[in-house]
Structure 1
Amino acid sequence: MPETILIIDDEKAICESLAGILSDEGFNPLVTHSAEEGLQILDEKDIHLVLLDIWLPGMDGLEALSLIKQRFSLPVIMISGHGTIETAVQATRIGAFDFIEKPLSYDNTLLAIRKGLQLARLERDNQVLRESRPVLKRITGDSPQVEMLRQQIERVAPTDAWVLIRGGHGTGKELVAQTIHRHSLRAKHPMVAVNCAAIPEELIESELFGHMKGAFTGATETKKGKFDLANGSTLFLDEIGDMSLKSQAKVLRILQEQRFERVGGSRTIEVDVRVLAATNKDLEEEIELGNFRADLFYRLNVVPITVPELQDRREDIPLLVADFVQQFSKKGISLKDFTPEALLLLQQHHWPGNVRELRNLVERLVIMTPGDRIDAADVTLFLGSPAKTVMHPPGQLLAYNALPFKEARRQFETDYLSAKLQENEGNISKTAEQIGMERSHLHKKLKALDIAGK
C-alpha cells in the first residue's frame, strides 16, 4: 500500500507539480491549499508525511506545524519561498523534520521525503517493539548454584564492568546477560545482541561496525553496525569463541579504544558501550590451539560468570517444569500437572542440552499428552531410550538414603563418574562427550572429587 503524503500549499502550480512527481515515485499525494483544511484531512485520513508551506492564507504554516506536532506523530517538511535563518530555526524548534526553500529542487525534496518516512517507520517499529516486548524471564531455581549466580549478577550488574559468561549449550547464558543488563544503569536502552556463530566471516565486520553505501556488492545504503546501535547501552556478543581471528583483532581494537570506522568509511565514530560476552567453549584451550586471541580473552574476562549445567542443579527441575508449564499456558496450551514419579524421571536424566532441552521436552509433553496429568509412563515415552537416563538399583538408592544430601550427592557423582571413566579407559574427552558435559567442566569436577583421569 503506497504511503500517503499531504501537500499544504496555496500555490496551485507547485501542488500539481509535486503531486505528479510523487505519484510517479509510487506515493499517494493529497493536496489542500489551507492549513485549516489540512488539519481536517489529518483527522480523517492516515497520513504518513506532510509538506507544509509557511506562508498560507488564514492560519500560517508555523502555527499549523505546532498543532500538527501536538496532535499527530508524523514528520513535517516545511517549504517556503521567503525563508530566513530565523524562520528555519523556529520551525526546527517546533518539530519540523526538514526545511526546504523554493524554488524546489525535486531531487532534494524526494530525498528529504524518503528520509522522513524512514525515520517515521523506525519510530513506529520501535513503538511496536516496546508494546509487544514479552514479560522478562527470570532465573528459576533455588539450588546453591543458582543462588550463587544471582549473587554474582546482583554485584556486577550496577557496574560498567565487562562480563564473560561461560556455560554449555542451553544453560541460559543469554538470560544471564539480559538479567545483568536489566539491573544495570543502561537498562533504559535495549540491549543489542549479536550471535557471532550465526554470521558469516565475510559479513561480521559489516554487522558489528556497519558499512557505507557501495562499500561492497549489495551495500545499497549506509547501515549502522551493532556497536553503533549499542551506543550508551549494552552489547551482548554471544558465542564469542566462534569469531574468526581477523574479526577478533578488529573487535579488540574497538573494545580498547571505543571507536571505529564503518566498512568502506573513513570517519571515526566514538561509542560508549558495555560489553557482555558468552561462550560454550574452553577459551583457555582455544588460546593454546591458536584459535582465540589471549589479549581479547583478558580484555573480556574482567568478571567471569559460569552458568551451571542442569545436571549440577537437578533439584531445580521441578521449579523449572512448573515455570515452563505456566509460560506455555499463556500460549493457549492447557495447564497440566506432573506426578512426582514423572518429575523424578526428569531429575534422573543427563540433559546434555541443559535447560533448553528440558523446556522443549516439557512443551512436547503438555501438547501431546492427553489428560490433565503427566506421569512417568508419558515421560518415558517422550524421553527416549532408558540408556539416556541415570537409573539406580534399589540397593544403591538405599545406600545413598543413609547419607545427608550433600554427602549422598558427592558419593553418587564419585560412583557415576568413576564408572564412566572406567568404561572409557580413563579418557576424559570421551567421557565428557558420552555424558554430555564440557571437558573443562568435567576436568574441574574430577579434580574436586579427587578422581584420576587422563
Structure 2
Amino acid sequence: MQGQKHILVVDNDAARRQQIETVLAFVGEHYHVFSEVDIDKNLAEIPNILMIILCGDISSKLQGIIKARPTYPFVYHDILDKKQINGYVNVIGELTRPLNYAQLTELVHHSHQYHNNLPTKRDVNRPNSLFRSLVGISAPMQQVRFLIEQVASTAASVLILGESGTGKEVVARNIHNHSDRHKGPFVPVNCGAIPAELLESELFGHEKGAFTGAISTRKGRFEMAEGGTLFLDEIGDMPQPMQVKLLRVLQERTFERVGGAKSIKANVRIIAATHQHLEEMIKSNQFREDLYYRLNVFPIETPALRERKEDIPLLLQELISRFSAEQGQSVRFTDKAIESLQEHFWAGNVRELSNLIERMIIMYGEQVVNVGQLPLKYQHLDVDDFQPEYPEELQEREAINALFSGFDYDDEDDTTAHNSEQDTAANTEGKTVDVLPSDGLNLKEYLAELEVSLIKQALDKNDWVVARSAELLGMRRTTLVEKMRKYNLQK
C-alpha cells in the first residue's frame, strides 16, 4: 500500500535485532531490520519512513544521519552513552527494556504526530532534489535548511544575512522553489550593482518619454516577478530615496512606473539579502529602521565556510561534479590536500572554494592534486608531493643515484671540489651538477629535467616502444605512460 509507513531498525547485534523484530511483528507495523552497513541503501529505497530505531552504540555515522534528516523521528534503544543523542530535536523517545506492546504503540503514535507537525509535509519528496545546492552535514547548514522549510510555504518577507560568498542567493532560490510560487518567476536584482539614478526605473519600470532615452515603455523587475519572487540582493546598498519607495510598495502592494500615474498591483514575494550590519547602519542613518523591520520578518543567517569546515569534502565533490558537467574536465584531491583546505580561513567562503577548484582544473585537469600542488596560501600541511604509481620508489632512487653518481667521497677530493667556485659554475652549465652552486638551485625542477632526459634516452634507445622503455627504466608501463602525458613527450 502506497500510504503505508515503515519502521526501520538499525542494529549491529543480530540477537537484539531478532527480539525487536518479534515485537514489531506482533504490533503489526511494516518494518525493516538491518545492520548499520546497510542504512544508506535502505534510506534511499524505502518510502514513507515512519520512524527509525537505533540500537546499541550510536556511531558518528549514525549521528550524522540524525542531523541530516530532521524530517525523520528517531528512537534509541539499549545505548550506554545517552550523550550521543543529546541535542537532537528529532530524537523523540527511548525504547526501554523489557520490550512491550504498549510502549512501542505509544512511540508509533508520537512518530505520527511528529510527521503531522512538520512544516512542509506536502513536499516530503521535494527537498532532496531542491536542497542539492545547499550541501553540508554541519549543524549550521541543517539549521538553514530547516528554516527554509519553515518559511517557504508562508507569505512572510525574508532577510538573508551573511558574508559575501556564503550562498545567500542559493538560499533565496530554495525558498522560492519550496514555496507555492515555485511555478512563477524568480527575479534577482543586485541593488549595489545598479546606479542610484537608474534603480527606480529598474525596479518599477518607466513610461515612454519619462526621461531622456526612454524611447519606449519598459516593465520593471516588480512586474517581471509577478506571481513569483523578487530577490533584492545587497539591500544595504540601496539609496535612501529608493528605500522610501520600496517601503511604500511593501506596505500598499502597489507602485507606479517612472513617468506614469497608473497604480499597478504587486503580487510579489520579497526576499532581501545583505552582508552588511543593517542595525549599525540604522544608528548612522544609512538605512531606514521602518524598512528594516518590514524586511526582517524572518531572518536566516548563512554560515561562513570557516564555521562549517566539515562540509568542505562534500562541497568539493559537488563543485567538481558541476565543473565536470559544464566543462568536461575534472580533478581529484588527496586526503591530505582536503585536510589542508579545511585548515584555511576562507575569507571568500564558498565562492573562493569554487574559484580554487576551477583554477586547479585548469592547471591539473584529470590529475590528482596534493598539498604541494595547491597555491601557497592553501598549503597548511607539510607533506611531500604525491607521486601516483610510485609504490616501489625505484625511480626516485635511480634519479638520486644518477644525480650523485659523479661524487667522489674521498675527503681530499671533496674538499677540493668545495673550494673551487669556478668548477661549480662550469658544472651548472651542463646537464649534471656535482656541487651545489653558491646561489642554490631548484631541486624539484632539476630532478624533473633529469627525469625527462632519462625517459627520452630510454625511449630513443627502444625506438619509442613504451613497454621496453619502461622495463629499461625499472618502472611499470602505466607509470611511464603517465609521465609521458605529464611531460607531453611524443615521438
Query: Which residue in 2 is equivalent to 1:267?
Result: 262
Matched, 1:352 2:347: yes
The superposition leaves residues 345-371 of structure 1 with CA deviations (integer Å, 9 ceiling, x where unpaired) of 111111100000001001111221265
Which of 338, 343, 357 in structure 1 is aligned with 2:338? 343
* Alpha-carbon separation, structure 2, partners of 1:208 and 1:137: 30
Query: Which residue in 2 is equivalent to 1:403?
Result: none
Code of the aligned partner of 2:321: Q
Contact preservation (8 Å) 1:208, 1:227 = yes
Contact preservation (8 Å) 1:212, 1:262 = yes
Matched, 1:215 2:210: yes
User: Compared with structure 1, are the counterparts of its residues 242 and 137 closer, same or farther at alpha carbon in structure 2 (3 Å cutoff)?
Assistant: farther
Contact preservation (8 Å) 2:184, 2:226 = no
* Alpha-carbon separation, structure 2, partners of 1:376 and 1:286: 42
User: Compared with structure 1, are the counterparts of its residues 162 and 371 closer, same or farther at alpha carbon in structure 2 (3 Å cutoff)?
Assistant: closer
Which of 234, 243, 263 in structure 1 is aligned with 2:238? 243
Residue 229 of structure 1: CA displacement? 1.4
Which of 377, 386, 401 in structure 2 is aligned with 1:384? 377
Query: Which residue in 2 is equivalent to 1:194?
Result: 189
- Gaps in structure 2 of 5+ consecutive residues: 1-129, 383-491
* Alpha-carbon separation, structure 1, partners of 2:175 and 2:327: 30
Matched, 1:145 2:144: no
The DSSP-based 3-state class of the residue aligned with 2:194 is coil
State the TM-score, normalized to the length of structure 2. Answer: 0.50
Query: Which residue in 2 is equivalent to 1:228?
Result: 223
The DSSP-based 3-state class of the residue aligned with 2:202 is helix
Which has the higher Rg, Structure 1 or Structure 2?
2
For residues 53-452 of structure 1, the aligned pairs below 5 Å read: 138-369=133-364, 372-379=367-374, 382-384=375-377
Contact preservation (8 Å) 1:248, 1:296 = yes
Residue 372 of structure 1: CA displacement? 2.1
The DSSP-based 3-state class of the residue aligned with 2:326 is coil
User: Compared with structure 1, are the counterparts of its residues 385 and 365 closer, same or farther at alpha carbon in structure 2 (3 Å cutoff)?
Assistant: closer
Contact preservation (8 Å) 2:158, 2:270 = yes
- Dislocated runs of 4+, deviation >4 Å: none
Query: Which residue in 2 is equivalent to 1:85?
Result: none
User: Compared with structure 1, are the counterparts of its residues 383 and 277 closer, same or farther at alpha carbon in structure 2 (3 Å cutoff)?
Assistant: farther
* Alpha-carbon separation, structure 2, partners of 1:162 and 1:218: 34
Code of the aligned partner of 2:377: G
The DSSP-based 3-state class of the residue aligned with 1:248 is helix
Query: Which residue in 1 is equivalent to 2:81?
Result: none
- Gaps in structure 1 of 5+ consecutive residues: 1-134, 393-454
Query: Which residue in 1 is equivalent to 2:482?
Result: none
The DSSP-based 3-state class of the residue aligned with 2:327 is coil
Question: Identity of counterpart residues, as a percentage?
Answer: 52
Contact preservation (8 Å) 1:181, 1:234 = yes
How many matched pairs? Answer: 254
Contact preservation (8 Å) 2:305, 2:350 = yes
The superposition leaves residues 248-280 of structure 1 with CA deviations (integer Å, 9 ceiling, x where unpaired) of 001000111010111001111112111000000
Query: Which residue in 2 is equivalent to 1:398?
Result: none
The DSSP-based 3-state class of the residue aligned with 1:330 is helix
* Alpha-carbon separation, structure 1, partners of 2:326 and 2:265: 43
Residue 138 of structure 1: CA displacement? 1.7
* Alpha-carbon separation, structure 1, partners of 2:207 and 2:137: 49
Contact preservation (8 Å) 2:191, 2:233 = yes
Residue 228 of structure 1: CA displacement? 1.4
Code of the aligned partner of 1:314: K
Residue 169 of structure 1: CA displacement? 0.4
Residue 384 of structure 1: CA displacement? 3.1
